Amino acid sequence: MGAWMMALYSVVSYVLFLVTFTYSALFVAGLPFVKGIDAGALRPAQHAIAVDLLLLALFAVQHSVMARRGFKRWWTRLVPQPIERSTYVLAATAALAILLWQWQPIPQPVVWNVSSPLGAALVWTVFALGWVVALSSTFLIDHFELFGLRQPFTLAMGKMAGTTEFRTPFLYRMVRHPLYLGLLIAFWATPRMSAGHLLFSVGTTAYIFLGIFFEERDLVAQFGARYHDYRERVAMILPFTGSRR
């Protein structure tokens, strides 16, 4: 595959990710003009729970396994290094798309319901803030490297790939994982928490903390004492609550 073909591949992967990511926000919000988290044909709760757990497990396994350093060393024997990240993004997008497509609704019982218009508006504001925090945190480091665009374009333009620097800009001085913090806020901030939404929120929360465990292990291996010191000084998820939270 030529350099510019790899660059085109990365753009296609990125666009597919953007479309699916945007749809996922609408899915979690449960807006009426899309297939929301509580929309679709109703089936027995046991069936829906089993299917939904399998979908969450599929996403978690793909996301975690392909992100590990050992897997990448093996994977790049088959996939060119410049598009390794784009391929990961494409696979993650496919896993997310399958989850959104096949998710089984469990609308009852309702765990909580904010009926006040003002209260609901406040919750939706927090929901939107969560997505903003998640997306903006990727730009604070290197959005285009994270989603696999920078690597093939650097090659196509005949430049040398730089080394990954350890930086802690803005939100990263408050928490070590602002991307995950934003997603947690977005997944839990809803004026109407159905049983299906609760299952989704609990499942994604469990995966996020499992992902943090593996990700931090890789970061310590990559950056050594610098990341270890950072982990001792900065909270994991909750700002200003100590390094372990």
Average pLDDT over residues 211-233: 92
The tens digit of pLDDT for each residue in 146-161 reads: 999 999 999 888 876 6
Instruction: Specify the pairing of strand 110-113 against strand 192-194.
Output: antiparallel
Structural domain including 227 reads: 3-233
Our count of domains for the chain comes to: 1
Is there a domain that residue 131 lies in?
Answer: yes
Is there a domain that residue 241 lies in?
Answer: no
Is there a domain that residue 187 lies in?
Answer: yes
| pLDDT given for residue 212 in this prediction | 94
Helix (H, G, I), strand (E, B) or coil at 45: helix
Give percent above pLDDT 70 in the chain: 97
The tens digit of pLDDT for each residue in 20-45 reads: 999 999 999 998 888 999 998 899 99
pTM: 0.93
Is there a domain that residue 245 lies in?
Answer: no
The tens digit of pLDDT for each residue in 171-188 reads: 999 999 999 999 999 999
| pLDDT given for residue 72 in this prediction | 86
Distance in angstroms (rounded) separating the CA atoms of residues 132 and 117: 22
The tens digit of pLDDT for each residue in 59-109 reads: 999 988 888 888 888 888 889 999 999 999 999 999 999 999 999 999 999
pLDDT class of 200 with cuts at 50, 70, 90: very high
Is there a domain that residue 243 lies in?
Answer: no
Is there a domain that residue 238 lies in?
Answer: no
| pLDDT given for residue 70 in this prediction | 83
Is there a domain that residue 98 lies in?
Answer: yes
Write out the DSSP string of 40-79: S----HHHHHHHHHHHHHHHHHHHHHHHSHHHHHHHTTTS
